Structure 1
Amino acid sequence: MSNSESRTGPGWTPGQRIAGRVAVVIGAGQSPGEGLGNGRAAAMRYAREGARVLSVDRNLESAEETAAMIRAEGFESQALAADVTREAELSAAIARATELWGSLDILHNNVGVSLAGGDAELTEITEEAFDNLYRINLRGTAFACKHALLAMRKQRSGAIVNISSAAGVGRYPYAAYKATKAGVIALTEQLALQNAPFGIRVNCVLPGLISTPMAVETRARTWGQSREQVLAERVAKIPLGREGLGWDVANAALFLASDEAAFITGVSLMVDGGRVLNRI
């Protein structure tokens, strides 16, 4: 099992809640470092519940690693490289899924960047960095949704799960990430309303402080701290007393993508251990 996890661990349930469905996970790879990224966890979670998963990432090697982990567990996945700042590559990813498996039932948008993309306070951020975060965090999500919706409207069914952030509604010190992730929430609400007549549901997950390689390792490098220092400072802010895992985000996404959420659209589901309640 991945990460020494048993079939009774946080990434497993006994059901097959999305058996036979086709899922495209944008951002299914992950940065180097300890832990499991949100995108990889989501791809694995969907596969374990019976979906055929197209694992998409800018880094093909990382996408291939995710797909290989899924196949090693006996499930079905293919990998594809796509840069979310290029609409043609997002369109090709959606087309590839329908070419492989005949439909598109779930789109999961996981891509996002903050400090690694040059985020900073507004008085300090560069024009280039702000534009880069916008292209990745908001525009990339929007254009992935665009091409998924074109396929889902023909089917008159589908579920989109966008990964925003608790930073979109809570305290966050840097300008571009907060603004773009708030934009993902607004986009989700608009698309939910406009596409409900087609039987398409659109929701988003707002992760809080999650122990992913991108979040922890990047901050350790940027701030010149040990990984343990970064983790301790983050845990101190969380009422439940621990950082979240990629599985926590993936489990929320699975619920929203499944028929258990058949009457839910346009919501923003907080997955933050109560962090947003802690305003101090």
Structure 2
Amino acid sequence: MLLKDRVAIVVGAGQSPGEGTGIGRATTLRFAREGALILAVDRDLASAEETAAMAAQAGGTCIAHQADVTDEAALAGAVAAAYGRWGRVDILNYNVGVSMAAGDALLPQLTEEAFDRVNAINLRGAIMIAKHVLPIMRAQRSGVVINVSSIAAVENTYNYVAYKTSKAGMVAFTAQIAMQNAEHGVRANSILPGVMETPMAMGPRLASGEKTRDQLIAERNAKVPLRRRMGSPWDVASAAAFLASDDASFITGVALPVDGGALARIG
């Protein structure tokens, strides 16, 4: 029970369409099993409610809440809902990310609209909800912010512009708030997942029809040094549970790869 009675806001706790489990849902369920009290936030309320029901079946306390991360007022409302219900906020976990599904592209094909859309969801939402959570955590003199970035932020073979720049901005922002809030007892770290088998990662690539699911899995597995196997959302959820816990009480400002050795191989 690493997180017993800790109040956590998980943003992106719903589920993208497609086979498998997303990182946000896996993290919510892992937090629930560790004893956290969770506000499961998603644009799709029905999907958040499904996650909350799964968390309850696992013995956790989880309330679904609808909010669009491109709307600061909605994010402020999510923070107010958690604080109003439980009287504190101990953990903020931001799991939202889009790329190709929002029009991301190589630079020659990239539009302003797609760039703005991806960054509004991936980066601006993380910044705006942190704006409303951090005063609470400062007043408590405790709290943890965990932002889910990507190894695309730092490796040089990912070619889609908006996703890469948004995730790199998230790493920089997380390090910034780590330093600005350290003296107040608030920690902030980012997680950099590598090649993952999630609906968000697999769905758009399968939609083209160029590869079967088995072909795509084999291609993505081959990119991972460790056991030649893609990561699972549960790998990221475990890293988030650790960073949120007292076991990581002396860790802040870190960008933690969960990537099966991909960045070590790149150097």
TM-score (norm. length: structure 1): 0.92
Distance 1:207 1:176 in 2: 17
Task: Please name the residue that 1:8 is paired with.
Answer: none
The 5 Å alignment of 1:187-202 reads 187-202=173-188
The 5 Å alignment of 1:1-280 reads 16-170=1-155, 171-222=157-208, 224-240=210-226, 241-279=228-266
Deviation at 1:107, TM superposition (A): 0.2
Counterpart of 1:206, as a letter, is L
Deviation at 1:222, TM superposition (A): 3.3
Identity over the aligned pairs, expressed in percent? 55
Distance 2:219 2:265 in 1: 14
CA contact (8 A) 2:12 2:94 kept: yes
CA contact (8 A) 1:130 1:176 kept: yes
Distance 1:39 1:142 in 2: 18
CA contact (8 A) 2:32 2:59 kept: no
Deviation at 1:223, TM superposition (A): 5.4
Distance 2:108 2:204 in 1: 22
Deviation at 1:244, TM superposition (A): 0.5
Cα-Cα RMSD? 1.2
CA contact (8 A) 1:217 1:227 kept: no
| SS of aligned partner of 2:171 | helix
CA contact (8 A) 1:237 1:278 kept: no
| SS of aligned partner of 2:9 | strand
Counterpart of 1:59, as a letter, is D
Distance 2:236 2:169 in 1: 19
Deviation at 1:219, TM superposition (A): 1.0
| SS of aligned partner of 2:192 | strand
Deviation at 1:144, TM superposition (A): 1.1
CA contact (8 A) 1:57 1:82 kept: yes
Q: Which runs of 4+ in 1 moved over 3 A?
A: 277-280
Deviations 1:11-55 (A, max 9, x none): xxxxx1110110000000111222110000111111100101110
CA contact (8 A) 1:238 1:278 kept: no
Distance 1:102 1:19 in 2: 15
Counterpart of 1:43, as a letter, is T
Deviations 1:66-103 (A, max 9, x none): 00000112210000010000000000001100111111
CA contact (8 A) 1:117 1:132 kept: yes
Gaps of 5+ in 1: 1-15
Gaps of 5+ in 2: none
TM-score (norm. length: structure 2): 0.97
Deviations 1:138-183 (A, max 9, x none): 1011011111102111111100100000000012011110011000
Counterpart of 2:198, as a letter, is T
Distance 1:112 1:46 in 2: 20
